[in-house]
């Protein structure tokens, strides 16, 4: 099958209403949900390393959910599972064995190294490196230029990827060192170097990052009001957009911080 000079494998499963731009390459092992748009020059289902060595190797399935928007020049490898309403910027690379939830966005020039998990409603802004095996829970936002690392003594085979708890915010150009476990609702200030575990709700900054205060003390400079937990003050595109975070927590049997009680 060929659409506007794209090559779409006849074995790929393409949903209803899917639009595919020019010069795309959609491999055999790809399933695309209904109404998803794949913009120009994208490669979906990029073969894994083993398939170059072994002709009989069957690349694992890549699934991309419904109503997604894959912008131009994205390369998404075989063997990842991506939910509905997924959005990318341009020139994104997503390696194999990522499990990505629903309503996730991954900005321009992000590099996701695979074998990790990204929860629902997570937002990755541009130019972010997510090392292999990282776990980002629901509603984690990561800002431009952040680097997650997994090898304490490079080069080695002992990888300890970081984990980031629900609702945490990782400020621009922060670097997270291997094995760091960042709790829920934490706030990592721009440019921080995180070398150890960060407890829930803590704002850290500096190199090495130190706990400065409870993020719930921080006020928004425009409103003068306390800003965190941020879901009480930000709802665009979030599931509480129409009802507010308080009501959302009640409806979903969560505590006031949106966590399981
Ligand atoms: C974390 C943050 C919200 C702190 O806000 P705040 O509590 O209002 O901070 P203040 O300006 O009152 O600073 C508190 C202290 O922390 C220090 N500090 C704040 N941010 C810092 C940072 N990024 N790195 C190092 N120190 C920092 C301040 O210098 C100050 O120290 P002092 O008491 O010795 O003077 C803010 O600095 C920040 O980094 N925001 C994220 C920006 C970002 O990445 N946005 C992404 C969207 S593009």
Tell me which residue has its CA closest to atom 28 in ligand 1.
205
* Kind of pairing between the strands at 25-26 and 147-148: unpaired
Cα(118)–Cα(97) distance, rounded to whole angstroms? 11
Q: Is the dihedral of CA 167, 260, 210, 157 positive or negative?
A: negative
What's the gap in Å between 64 CA and the centre of ligand 1? 37
Residues 146, 126 contacting (CB under 8 angstroms): no
The pLDDT score that the predictor gives to residue 164 is 98
* Top mutation candidate among 185, 206, 212, 220 for ligand 1, by most atoms within 8 Å of CB: 212
Tokens 């409870």 sit on residue: 214
Q: Which of 171, 182, 192, 203 to mutate to test the pocket of ligand 1 (most atoms within 8 A of CB)?
A: 171
Judge whether 189 and 174 are in contact, CB under 8 Å.
yes
Half-sphere exposure of 112 (CA within 13 A, CB side): 35
pLDDT for residue 2: 52
Burial of 219 (0-12, 13-18, 19+ CB in 10 A): exposed
d(CA 40, CA 163): 33
Please identify, by atom number, the ligand 1 atom nearest to the C-alpha of residue 218. Answer: 7
Tens-place pLDDT, residues 86-118:
999 999 999 999 999 999 999 999 999 999 999
pLDDT digits (tens, 9 = 90+) for 26-62: 999 999 999 999 999 999 999 999 999 998 999 999 9
Q: What mean pLDDT do residues 152-173 have? A: 97
* Percent of the chain whose predicted confidence (pLDDT) is above 90: 98
Tell me the C-alpha distance between 172 and 83, whole Å: 26
Over 80: is that where the pLDDT of 1 sits?
Answer: no
**Closest C-alpha among 175, 167, 125 to residue 150:** 175
189-206 burial string, b = 16+ CB within 10 Å, else e?
Answer: beebbbbeebebbbbbbe
What digits encode the pLDDT tens for the residues 181-232?
A: 999 999 999 999 999 999 999 999 999 999 999 999 999 999 999 999 999 9
Q: Is the Cα dihedral 145, 148, 153, 156 positive or negative?
A: negative
Tell me the pTM.
0.96
Q: How far does residue 216's CA lie from ligand 1's centre (Å)?
A: 14
Answer whether residue 16 shows pLDDT above 60: yes
Give the three-state DSSP class for 191: coil
């Amino acid at each position: 099958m060929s659409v506007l000079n794209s090559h779409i494998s006849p074995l790929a499963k393409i949903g209803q209403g899917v639009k595919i731009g020019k010069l795309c390459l959609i491999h055999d092992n790809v399933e695309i949900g209904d109404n998803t748009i794949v913009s120009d020059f994208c490669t979906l289902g990029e073969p894994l390393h083993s398939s170059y060595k072994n002709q009989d190797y069957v690349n694992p399935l890549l699934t991309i959910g419904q109503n997604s928007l894959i912008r131009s020049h994205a390369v998404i490898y075989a063997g990842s599972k991506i939910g509905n309403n997924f959005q990318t910027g341009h020139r994104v690379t997503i390696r194999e064995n990522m499990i990505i939830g629903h309503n996730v966005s991954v900005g321009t020039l992000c590099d996701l190294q695979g074998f990790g998990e990204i929860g629902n409603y997570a937002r990755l802004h541009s130019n972010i490196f997510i090392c292999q095996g990282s776990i980002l829970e629901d509603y984690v936002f990561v800002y431009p230029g952040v680097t997650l690392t997994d090898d304490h003594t490079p080069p080695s085979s002992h990888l300890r990827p970081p984990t980031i708890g629900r609702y945490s915010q990782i400020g621009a150009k922060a670097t997270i060192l291997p094995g760091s476990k960042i709790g829920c609702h934490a706030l990592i200030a721009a440019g921080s170097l995180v070398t150890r575990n960060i407890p829930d709700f803590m704002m850290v900054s500096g190199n090495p990052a130190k706990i400065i205060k409870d993020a719930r003390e921080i006020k928004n400079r425009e409103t003068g009001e306390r800003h965190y937990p941020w879901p009480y003050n930000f709802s665009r595109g979030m599931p509480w957009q129409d009802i507010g975070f308080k009501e959302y927590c009640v409806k979903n049997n969560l505590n006031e911080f949106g966590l399981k009680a």
